[in-house]
Structures are given as C-alpha cells and as structure tokens.
Structure 1
C-alpha cells in the first residue's frame, strides 16, 4: 500500500467530487451528504475544511476563484489538479484491488469473549443481533427508497456491501450464540473460569 500525502478517506471523496466540477467546500459537503457519503465517512464541517487545506498543500487541488454573493461570505472555489486526478485514480484502484486488514473493535471483543460467562455473552450477542437486524432494515429501506427515486445501482453499491457484511455478521453471531449454549462449552467455561467470577 502506498503512503499517501493526505491519507484521510475524506480526501478521496473530496477528490471524487471535484472530478465532476470545481466547487467550494460548502458545496462539496452538501454533495457528500446528498450522495450518502456521510454514512460511510465520519466528518464534520471543520474536518472537511481541514482536508481541503491538506489537499491544496499537497498540490492535489488548487484555488480557481473566489465568489461572493450578497447573502453569503466569500467562498473559494477549488478545482482538481492533474496531480489530484492521478492521486484519485491511483488511490481508488488500490483500495478496490487490495484487501486491507482492518481492526474492528468487535474482533477484539471476540478474542476476549471467553472471559464472559456463557449466559452473559449470549445475552449481549442477542442484543447485538437485534441492533444488526435494525441496521439491516434501515439500509434496505434506504436502498429501496433510492432505487424507487431512480438512483442507479452503482451509487448504492456501498450500501449493498454494508448489507452483505451485516448479514454475514448476523449469521456468524447466530452460530456463535448456538455454540455458547452448548453444554460442553458451558462445562469447560465453568471448570476454567467459573471460580473467577
């Protein structure tokens, strides 16, 4: 994986928005929200302006003009540079082609799950399963509404990916709950850790 001058994933989204046309950061933020990127990227107005400044310093975007209308303060319009276009395509190709080890916190919890009594772990995992199913329904509704409004599938592909991941996690958690309820596991846990609680 290449070392990026600006490694924040928000920078990639900003570059992609500027590929379409030059615009000011406020408009970039509005479009990110409109395109649903606020569901996959964590950012606020301040972080967006910080990333825009980093991209400018890296030479990936450049000021095109400053506009002012009577009701709003001055706004600087930014455009993608050739270096920015190259960075966008190189970075995106890398992310699409190369699997990356990510370290979700649930993985940490699973590695230490045996500390919890089987009935506690089972109850907590059932809560997780309820929350996962609620997220799945919310995403399905979002996709359904967007499709009904004529949004083409490629603009919903991150939602479809998230659905696939959540559905896989639901299957995993369901099997894990079943395993935690097996008498042989409960017996083993009681022999090893039961006296510690």
Structure 2
C-alpha cells in the first residue's frame, strides 16, 4: 500500500523545524518543489495539519500574533507522530512499488492513435524533457551552493530528490527518442487498428 505522501512530508517538516507554523511548513515544502514531484498542493498542507492534530500526531505548541499579521498556530510532533512518521518513512524507503502513470496506458494504446499525432507527441515530449533536464541540473547546482540549512535555504537532500527526478527524466527522454526513431524508420509499425477521430 502506498504511503500518503502529503501526510509523511508534513510530519517530516514539523519534526525538522518544530515548533513551526503551518505557513512555514507550506513554504518549506514549496522550496523542495514538492508541489511538482509529490503533488503536495499548498492548501493541502493546512488540511493535513488539522487532520494530524485531530489524530494526535502533532500538538499545538502555541498560538500567537506578530504585529498586524493574522494569528498563527505553532505545532510540535507528538510521541505518536514520531512513531507514525518513522513507520511511514520506513515503508516508503523499502517500497519498490512502480509509479502509476497514465502515460503507460497511452503507450499501450498507440495503435489506436494517428501515427502522425504519435510522432508529434513524442517530439514534443523530447523537447520538454530536454528543457526539464537543463532546469533540474541547474537547480541541483544552485541548491548545493547554499548552506543546506532548511531555515536559510533548501536543504541539500532536495538536490538528491532532483537528481532522482532528472534520472527518471533522462530514462523517459531516452525511451522517447528510441521510440520516435523506431516509428520513423518503420521498425515500429503498429497502425492496423482504426485510429480515434
């Protein structure tokens, strides 16, 4: 069973930065780009904090107001939260569950798409992946040039996450290039079915 990513990441940030405001948890996860690779949306952080407080995984450390800013709640991990975080992290680290991606289904249905559209889509993917790799490689360099202290900049472990994303992107790019070449050369010719309209 897959570990609930938002819950695990929010617990991790509370644990790492406690006592911490929900806004700081949100900001930290955005600095990790978790909205992109883990689909952790900024609004879901606050929902996760409420649910985890209700479930006894985090506790309110205090409520305060700084000047004219709105009142903010500060959270700390509970003993139960520490246990649940450890269990979730362990399960995720040992998981070899393959990622589920709608593109896998689309690849299996290529014979039912017009050949020229498949070629155009592959060319588009190749351009996108090439641009993504430039971005990811630059981000890794930028993050590693910082202190690594999460209270100042992105922690260095975020660079490792981006390296993993870059490696996946490189594999997808390689597959896309090879598949395009196989289609264009005629080696891969699967268009016997009726394409959609």
TM-score (norm 2): 0.85
Q: Greater CA radius of gyration, 1 or 2?
A: 1
Equivalent residues in 2 for 1:83-162, closer than 5 Å:
83-151=80-148, 153-162=156-165
Secondary structure at 2:127 match in 1: helix
Structure 1 unmatched runs, 5+: none
Q: Is the 8 A contact 2:62 2:73 kept in 1?
A: yes
Displacement after TM superposition at 1:8 (Å): 3.7
Equivalent residues in 2 for 1:1-197, closer than 5 Å:
1=1, 8-20=4-16, 21-151=18-148, 153-183=156-186, 185-186=188-189, 189=191, 192-193=192-193
Q: Is the 8 A contact 1:119 1:181 kept in 2?
A: no
What's the CA shift string for 1:128-171, capped at 9, x where partnerless?
11011111111111111122234475331110000000000111
In 1, the alpha carbon distance for the partners of 2:164 and 2:196 equals 41
Q: Is the 8 A contact 2:13 2:25 kept in 1?
A: yes
- Size of the aligned set, in residue pairs, is 190
In 1, the alpha carbon distance for the partners of 2:124 and 2:93 equals 33
Displacement after TM superposition at 1:98 (Å): 1.3
Structure (1 or 2) with the greater helix fraction: 1
Q: Is the 8 A contact 2:35 2:42 kept in 1?
A: no
Structure 1: 4+ residue segments shifted above 6 A: 194-197
In 2, the alpha carbon distance for the partners of 1:134 and 1:195 equals 30
TM-score (norm 1): 0.85
**Judging changes above 3 Å, is the alpha-carbon distance between structure 1 residues 130 and 48 closer, same or farther for their aligned structure 2 residues?**
same
Structure 2 unmatched runs, 5+: 149-154
Over aligned residue pairs, what C-alpha RMSD do you find? Answer: 2.3
In 1, the alpha carbon distance for the partners of 2:42 and 2:180 equals 41
In 1, the alpha carbon distance for the partners of 2:185 and 2:106 equals 20
Moved more, 80-89 or 101-110: 101-110
